[in-house]
Amino acid sequence: MEFEAVIGMEVHVEINSRSKVFCACSTDFHSPPNTNVCPVCLGMPGALPVLNRDMVEKSVMVGLALNCQISRWSKMDRKNYFYPDLAKNYQISQYDLPLCHHGWIDIEVDGEVRRIRITRAHMEEDTARNTHTIAGGMSGVDFNRSGVPLLEIVTEPDIRNAREAYAYLTALKQLLQYLDVSDCNMEEGSLRAEANVSVRPVGSEKLGTKTEIKNVASFSGVQKAIDYEIHRQIEVIRSGGTIVQETRGWDPDRGVTFSQRAKESAHDYRYFPEPDLVPVVVDEAWEERIRQRLPEFPSDRRKRFMTQYGLSAYDASVLTQTRPMADYYETMLARGVDPKKAANWLMVELQGRLTEAGLEITKSPVSPDHLARLITLIEDGTISGKIAKDVLNQMFQTGSDPDTIIREQGLSQISDTSAVETVVRDVVRNHPEQAAQYRAGKEKVFAFFVGQVMKESRGKANPAIVNDLLRKILNEEGDA
């Protein structure tokens, strides 16, 4: 019997609001424990939540970008359970009336477009963080994260394999970063992905029992975990077993999923409407104002890069991978450089150096203006392409502009024909043997002369002029 997998994703995204969702505390991730706290996010007696407007607007942006319907009227609810990282022992979330619902996102796998439906995106607060590494066998709770704004994005079970899951996560992350609503940093927990996985015989309409894969640290980890889990479930069923509904973790070293806890069938969160907050009302005018703030989406920008700048599909895709990269590129173009040369220098030369240094484009020591200027200096013959790479190295190390580096180190190319001619004549005179070989038809020797001239001029001679002059002078001397 053939099986197919049915996969739905739940992604928690930390919205990059400066303050927490229900109080004015900072959301800074790097502060010392329990410094970004107040009576509200500590769940002190008598404290009340007040919903952060920025959180609502950014959530609506995500909803619109995911083609969701935005609820004109939604509400917050209390989700009740006891745990020390939950300050009030209830989490303020959204239950039956989420802010965004019924959306979709297109993903591409092997050149084929698949549409993944979005069930809902709802606002909630993050919990605190428990630590168990305190002296004396005690556990501690850091409430800095308590009340950090989260958006939970849930898909329909439309995903059919691990590669699609990976493509979905990548597309979602790209979109969120384009919207500038989240850092999407999995290591810092600002993006957390969970996969609900089940299998069923091909052709069957009925869903199999699902397992929930949690706490995976990377997108590729999610992909591997889903792959493993699909095979595991098929094996279990083929060998006559049944799938247990449970939460499973992922062990990246052994490459296996493992049971974390069985889902208590009686887990009852006793949701009810949060009486401390008023309904969230997003009228048409507000939705429209938020819509106006939406940036160009990655897929649209990619197509535009191809038509407007004549880039290949591959180049356009790389350059629109992140919004900062695309913005960097277009800032360069605003300085009037050739789109293809700009693409090449950005994607190959600068990106190579960034990757080596482990830097994001946003942290590039070379500004788009400076990189564009460097290309202009090659175009107008001030420096050669080879020298330009050395100049870029120095720009990368010092953050300096190319003109300063070229001036201070006297790197500008010798394009003065008479100066180059003197060097060429000297070189030809000093190597009569090779000159004779050339004239005898040994074309290979020409490269030797170019090398010698470049060496004598310490690389600054304009290669085109060197070529012309060498041929002229070598042939001249032969005529004499």
Partner 1 sequence: MTDWRWADAITVRDAVSAGTVSAEEITRTLLDWVDEVDRKVDAYTQVWREEALERARNIDARRRQGEPLGPLAGVPIGLKELLCTRQGFTTCASRILAGFRSPYDATVVRRLEAADAVFLGKVNMDEFAMGSSTERSAIKVTRNPWNLNCVPGGSSGGSAAAVVSGQCAVSLGSDTGGSIRQPAALCGCVGIKPTYGRVSRYGLVAFASSLDQIGPLTRTVEDAALVLDVICGKDPMDATSAPLPAPEFLNATRTGDIRGLRVGLPKEYFTDALSDEAREAVLNAVKVLESAGASVVEVSLPHSPYAIAAYYIICTAEASANLARFDGVRYGFRHPDAKTMEEMYDLSRTAGFGPEVKRRILLGTYVLSSGYYDAYYLKAQKVRRLIKRDFDQAFEACDVIAGPTSPTPAFEFGAKTDNPLEMYLSDIYTISVNLATLPGLSIPCGLSRKGLPIGLQLIGKPFDEATLLRTARHLEKSGITDIGRPPLA
Q: Which residues bind partner 1 (CB under 8 A)?
A: 39, 42-51, 78, 80, 82, 84, 87-90, 141, 268, 270-272, 275-278
How far apart are CB 77 and partner 1 at their closest, in Å? Answer: 10
Cβ closest to partner 1, residue 45 vs residue 240: 45
The CA distances from residue 296 to 113, 171, 276, in Å, are: 20, 14, 37
Cβ closest to partner 1, residue 92 vs residue 387: 92
Cβ closest to partner 1, residue 42 vs residue 65: 42
How far apart are CB 141 and partner 1 at their closest, in Å? Answer: 7
Q: What are phi and psi of 151, to 5 degrees?
A: -115, 125
How far apart are CB 191 and partner 1 at their closest, in Å? Answer: 28
How far apart are CB 49 and partner 1 at their closest, in Å? Answer: 7
- Of 245, 175, 157, 134, the C-alpha closest to 13 is 175
Angle at CA 184, nearest 5°, toward 182 and 189?
Answer: 110
Instruction: Tell me the DSSP string of 215-227.
Output: ---SHHHHHHHHH
Q: How far is CA 314 from the centre of its chain?
A: 17
How far apart are CB 243 and partner 1 at their closest, in Å? Answer: 24
Cβ closest to partner 1, residue 278 vs residue 348: 278
Cβ closest to partner 1, residue 42 vs residue 366: 42
Please say whether the beta carbons of 326 and 177 come within 8 A.
Answer: no
Cβ closest to partner 1, residue 263 vs residue 293: 263
Structure-derived torsion over alpha carbons of residues 289, 281, 19, 217, reported in degrees to the nearest 10: -90
Question: What sign does the CA torsion over 167, 169, 174, 175 have?
Answer: positive
Tell me the pairing of strands 280-281 and 211-213.
Answer: unpaired
How far apart are CB 65 and partner 1 at their closest, in Å? Answer: 27
How far apart are CB 18 and partner 1 at their closest, in Å? Answer: 17
How far apart are CB 63 and partner 1 at their closest, in Å? Answer: 22
Question: CA 41, CA 20: separation in Å to the nearest integer?
Answer: 8
Cβ closest to partner 1, residue 135 vs residue 138: 138
Cβ closest to partner 1, residue 88 vs residue 210: 88
Question: CA 327, CA 301: separation in Å to the nearest integer?
Answer: 10
- Of 356, 355, 351, the C-alpha closest to 332 is 351
Cβ closest to partner 1, residue 271 vs residue 448: 271
Cβ closest to partner 1, residue 266 vs residue 480: 266
How far apart are CB 57 and partner 1 at their closest, in Å? Answer: 17
How far apart are CB 138 and partner 1 at their closest, in Å? Answer: 12
In 172-302, which ranges are E strands? 191-201, 211-213, 246-251, 256-262, 272-273, 280-281
- 433: Cβ–Cβ under 8 A, 6 or more apart, which residues? none
- 97: Cβ–Cβ under 8 A, 6 or more apart, which residues? 71, 73, 74, 75
How far apart are CB 270 and partner 1 at their closest, in Å? Answer: 4
Cβ closest to partner 1, residue 280 vs residue 454: 280
Please say whether the beta carbons of 391 and 439 come within 8 A.
Answer: no
Helix (H) or strand (E) holding 7: strand 3-14
Question: CA 184, CA 11: separation in Å to the nearest integer?
Answer: 11
**What is the amino acid identity at position 15?**
I
Instruction: Tell me the DSSP string of 392-423.
Output: HHHHHHH---HHHHHHHTT---B--HHHHHHH
Residue 167 class from Cβ within 10 Å (0-12 exposed, 13-18 middle, 19+ buried)?
buried
What is the 8-class DSSP label of residue 277? S
- Of 346, 364, 344, the C-alpha closest to 354 is 364
How far apart are CB 145 and partner 1 at their closest, in Å? Answer: 15
Cβ closest to partner 1, residue 47 vs residue 236: 47
